[in-house]
Each structure stands twice: as structure tokens, then as C-alpha cells.
Amino acid sequence: MPGHISDRRPLVIAIVGSGPRGISVLERLAVRTAAEAGRSGGGPPRPVRVHLIDGTEVGAGRVWRTDQDDWFTMNTVVSQVTMYSGDPDTGPARPGAGPSLGEWIAERARQGEEPLGPDDYAPRVRYGRYLADVLATITRGLPGHVELVPVTGRVTAVRPAAGGGHLLTLDTAPHLLEADRVVLATGHPVNEPDEFERAMLDFARRTPGTRYLCGDSAADLPLDEETVPAGGAVGVRGLGLSFYDVMLSLTVGRGGMFRAGPDGALEYHPSGREPGIVAGSRSGLPIPARGRNQKEPSHSHRPLFLTRDALASARAARRAAGGSGQLDFAEDVLPLLRQEVEHVHRVTQVRVARGAREAAAFAEAHARALRTGTDRTALLARAGLAHEPPLDLDALARPFGEERFASPEDFRARLLKVMDEDLAAAGQGTVDGPLKAALDVLRDIRTMVREAVDFGGLLPESHTESFHRRFLPVNALLSAGPPMYRVEQLRALIRQGLVEVAGPGTRFGADERAGAFVVDSPRVAGSRRYVRTLIDARIPTPDLHRDTSPLIRQLRAEGIVRTFAVQGPAGRRFVTGGMEVTPAPFHVVDAEGTAQPDLYALGIPTEHTRWFTQVGSSRPGLATLFYRDADAIAADALRPLERPAGGPPPVPEPVSVPGRAAGRADVATAPGGAA
């Protein structure tokens, strides 16, 4: 037919990166091509060839590779993690219908592997094996007209081909690949050092016996005894999820063991090969524990205040006032988010104290009072909450306020008290514990925050100050913590003197005279410590300008991609470090502002254009954004190579997924252990 490329030539799709995002696109391609074969009306469907490319391990990627140590742990319970876009049914596992991570582990436990309960946390290596099994299942389930070609190698360049599509350059055979459509799902970056990191690296280069490690996850840093000797002191910058990975590598990874002591409290039994750890961060607070899970996998908090209607009204009000419709995060979004958290906190307090019936009546009255701005003093008094303070997210994230401490021992006692209180709250659970139930809302409400923020939804100055610099650190600290037992392990190490947290506002630097790095807190007298090794345990922030990947550098240099900028009124703008893409199906935007119809980007490279892209799985029973993102790309990538002459582009048919309810919950993943 005129206007069509021959439907006998395979449509070639290249997926660059085979971690969870790449596999999710492949899974939806498999579902859609199978449906396409079923609709072919007896004729042979168009052939499709998919190249799945990864520089580390095809099917698991770098972060989830299957040769890493088993003390690196996920931070989402296994029952809430799935890579299939539909739940299992009576048939075999296949694209569109397969087991969650928890169900997969339970089945393998029946064959003799280590069991885990639905509310347990899996090592990252087991998730990597699950991903490999998902890939094997997809491969077996591909329809006959689809060919999957796994390729182990790094893509170093993607350029437009003369006859359409793209030419991919690889550092291994086959070295060159042609593809009609290319999906970039390259995951976490390794960045060039920033100014501080360059100074520390330079100090280490010219100071014998010192070492500075930065710019990658703990699983990829050289934390062996040759690099980080036993017996000395090592400084660790950052107290987030990756800190726990470093902590475990330097203790359990050195042969030590945690055991319950005579009083039931956890104790650490050292091997003698450990270094002492001196750690710190701006807050001085190790990231708190996730609450004990009490929720079903398909649970999703239904927003009452931070809703699409509320955001649309706020945008309309901004336009009516002569603005662009962009929101101010502090004025238009954060108050609604705080209402969501406060409401769940108060209702849970009433339910725990007075039962479900009184909680239901209170919830109705409390929600109405929040919506109308009515004074709640009398309502809270009748519910027995007159003397219960409201939840203060900023205070929870900065529990030491402006306190000063007379000695490291004073700060240590205060820190352990904060950690004990947090563990007690976490032990109450994510349903029956008022604090952790409320903080869990921060996870469930992410999609509505994205509605407000993504694609330049905020005013540039608000995006920079209110959202990026103020809200995100608080949100990261309170919404994505490690399992309780990790915090219990840290508490044991602090009590035994193997880990010292310097204090709030921790400073890291180098002392030329001492020939060592320095760690101290200006608010803890006597906290100054000298260390010969300094480890930066923070996960690199996506930034196209600092990304060391040859592929990203080539794409930027040749104008095939560009950095997203938040544009505001009167020419105001904020240039982010994220790759600019269109809304779904996420076509890459080039240096001239033109969307590239055959080049897509998904996940972490697009951070800042979209928020919280480090999502590494879907959730059973819910049509999450993770699944919908992958499906949008799969649908578009399978469109005919050319539209019929004179006609509009064909609209992909929807492919339903059994057992999936509409939902907003997504599951996060990061090298620091979040999943």
C-alpha cells in the first residue's frame, strides 16, 4: 500500500538498559504483540525484533545484578513488588500475568530456597534473580513473530540513520545496530565530581595514606580491606539509605555478626576486621525506619485534599490573577499535602484509642473542618486529642532543631533516644501506628505531587526553593526509610562505639597539617575527628551536564537531547539537570525543541522533568504509573513505521490487564536500597 514501509521487514526496537524500566517496556511489548497477533484476522502479523541491551547484566542491570552481596537490601516488603502488569491467574506465568516478588519467593521456598514472609524485605540480589526470571518468562511467552536479541555491551552513541530510525554504536560486538525505535532506560548515573569532591580527590592524590571514595552505590565502591583498612577510622558522608549499605559492607561484610543479647536487644559481635565509622549529615539524623507493614499489596491511600480538582482550581486561580497557571509549591501544594498527612495521623489516633466507629465519625467531621478552614479545637478536644500536638514534618526531619551539645556523649544519648522513639513508632505499624501511618501517606501521594510538579508545573523560583531545596530533603528522610532491623543494627553499633554520628550540620573537609580528612559538627563540642578514608554515601543526582556516560555525552554534544528548563513568567527560568521529554509516551526533545518521534527516555535520566523516577517495580493489584509509563512507550513504539498517505497516525488499541485496579501507588528503587 502506498505510504507504508513493507510490513514484512521487521520493526526493530532497541531498549538501552535492562533494569526494571527496560524490562517493564519489554513486558508490555510482549503483551501488545501477542494481542496484535490475535487481531491479525488470519494473516501473519508484522515481524518485530527487540534488542535488549545492557552493559552489566541483561535482565537485571547494574543496580540489581545477581553477583552482588546479599546484605544490600530492598526497602519495600516483597508482597508489594511486582514486575508483571497483571496478577497471576489459573494459567502459567506469562507477560501480563505473573507472580509478585513475594509469590515468586514463596514458590521457590517450596523447592528448598530461603523463605520470606509477605512483609519481609528481600536482598537486592534476590530481586535481581526475580528480574532474570521475569525476562526468561517474557522470552518464553513472546509470540512467534517477535524475536528477542539480548546484547551485553555499552551503547556509546545513538545517531539518526540516513534512511530513518537510529544507528547505535556499542563497545562490543556487533558494534553497530540499526533500530527503528530506541528506548533509553539507562538508570542511575555516574557523575563527574563536583567542586567539593574534586577538592577531596585532589587532597587524597597528594596525601599519602588517604583515600576518598565517591560517586557510586556502595555495591560498586571498593570497600575491601585493602582500600578501607581494618582498625582505623573511616568517615562517611550522608546518613540516608546508602549509608546503611556502607555500614553493612564494613561490618557484616567483614565477618561480623548481629545477635540478640541477654536482654533481647541486638548486639554486634565483631570479627576484628572492621574500621571505626564516623558519619554525619546536615540533619545529623540517620534516616528513620519504615513502619512495620500492615497493608495489603493493593492498598492505596485515596487523596481527600491534594486532588486533581484541587490542583486544577489552584491553576485556574493563578491564571485568573494574570499568571501562567504554574503553581507555587509552598502556597498551593504543600498545605494540601500536610492536610492529607495530618488527617490520617488524627484519624489513626482516634481509631487506636476509641475504635473504628468513633474514628469514622471523627474522620468525616475532621475532613470537613480541614476543607472549610473551621477551627478544630473543640473537635479535637471531644476526640481526646486536645493535648496531642499536630504532626510537624520539618521537626521530625530535624529533631535536634538548634540544640547544642556539650560533648559527643551528650549528643549520642539524645540521638539514641530519638532512634528508640522512632523504632517504637515503627513497631506500631503502618495502619495502627499514628506516626508511620501518616508518613506512609507521603509515599501514596507521590502521583498527585507529580501532577503538580512535572513538566514545569511550578513557578521556577518555587521549583528551586520550596520544592527542591526545602521539601525534597524532608520527604526523602521521612518517606523512604530502611527496614526496622537495619536501624536496630545501627543502634547496636552506636551503643558499642563502632559507629559515631558526629552531630547536626556535620562538616567534612581536609586538614593539610594533619594529613587527614576531618569530620565534625559545629553544634557538638569535642566532635572533631580525623580519618584517613572518607566515603561519600550519597546517591548521585541525575545531571546531564555531569554524567560520565559516553552515550549521554554524545547525545548532548550533538544536540539530540537537551536539559529541561522550567520556564516562568517574565522570562524567568530554572535549568535542571534532567533530560527533557514530552508527556507520555516520553519522546526525547532535541536541542531545537523538537520531539523525536522514534526516540524515548524513561526513568532516572528524565528526573527533574518528571519527579521521583527511581521507581523500580509496580505493585500487585494496581495499575500504577510505573506500568502505565511502560505501556505508553510500548504502544507508541509498535505503531507502523509510516502512516497511510493522507491519513492520521493510527491510534494504538488499549490492551486490558486482568486483575488491575486503577491506582496511584508506585514502588521506589535506588542503589541505596529503596525499592
State how far the Cα of 186 lies from the Cα of 549, in Å rounded to an integer: 10
CA angle 203, 204, 206 (to 5 degrees): 70
State how far the Cα of 673 lies from the Cα of 675, in Å rounded to an integer: 6
Q: CA-based Rg of the chain, rounded to a whole angstrom?
A: 26
- Using DSSP's 3-state secondary structure scheme, residue 168 falls into strand
Domains 12-190+544-668 and 195-287+484-536 share a fold: yes
State how far the Cα of 383 lies from the Cα of 30, in Å rounded to an integer: 54
**For the chain, which residues score pLDDT lower than 50?**
1-5, 643-652, 654-664, 667-675
The angle that helices 20-38 and 124-141 make with each other, rounded to 10 degrees, is: 20
| Residue at grid coordinates 522513639 | 421
State how far the Cα of 107 lies from the Cα of 544, in Å rounded to an integer: 42
Cβ atoms 540, 548 nearer than 8 A: no
Q: Name which of 622, 624, 653, 623 is nearest 636 in CA terms.
A: 653
- Using DSSP's 3-state secondary structure scheme, residue 36 falls into helix
State how far the Cα of 511 lies from the Cα of 493, in Å rounded to an integer: 27
Q: How many CB atoms within 10 Å of residue 242?
A: 27
Q: In what order do the strands lie in the sheet with 595-601?
A: 146-152, 48-54, 11-16, 181-184, 595-601, 587-589
How high is the pLDDT of residue 207? 98
Cβ atoms 78, 107 nearer than 8 A: no
Q: Name which of 587, 504, 608 is nearest 183 in CA terms.
A: 587
- Using DSSP's 3-state secondary structure scheme, residue 554 falls into helix
| Residue at grid coordinates 554524567 | 547
**pLDDT tens sequence across 154-210:** 999 999 999 899 999 999 999 999 999 999 999 999 999 999 999 999 999 999 999
- Using DSSP's 3-state secondary structure scheme, residue 146 falls into strand
State how far the Cα of 273 lies from the Cα of 256, in Å rounded to an integer: 8
Q: Name which of 79, 84, 78, 81 is nearest 98 in CA terms.
A: 84
- Neighbour-count burial of 583, counting CB atoms closer than 10 A to its CB (0-12 exposed, 13-18 middle, 19+ buried): exposed
pTM equals 0.93
Torsion angle of alpha carbons 553, 554, 555, 557, nearest 10°?
Answer: 80
| DSSP summary character for residue 55 | S
Residues 611-638: b if buried by 16+ CB within 10 A, e if exposed: bbbbbbbbbbbbbbbbbebbbbbbbbbb
Cβ atoms 501, 286 nearer than 8 A: yes
- Using DSSP's 3-state secondary structure scheme, residue 233 falls into strand
Cβ atoms 213, 535 nearer than 8 A: yes
Q: How many CB atoms within 10 Å of residue 399?
A: 19
CATH topology of domain 195-287+484-536: FAD/NAD(P)-binding domain (3.50.50)
What CATH number does domain 12-190+544-668 carry, 3.50.50.60, 3.40.50.300, 1.10.3720.10, 3.30.1490.100? 3.50.50.60
Residues in contact with 202: Cβ distance below 8 Å, sequence separation at least 6, in sequence order: none
Give domain limits for the chain: 12-190+544-668, 195-287+484-536, 308-479
Phi, psi for residue 74 in degrees, rounded to 5: -70, 165
CA angle 228, 230, 232 (to 5 degrees): 85
Q: Which grid coordinates are listed for 362?
A: 471523627
- Using DSSP's 3-state secondary structure scheme, residue 336 falls into helix
| DSSP summary character for residue 320 | H
State how far the Cα of 253 lies from the Cα of 380, in Å rounded to an integer: 50
Cβ atoms 81, 124 nearer than 8 A: no
Q: How far is Cα of residue 85 from the mean position of the Cα atoms in its chain?
A: 19
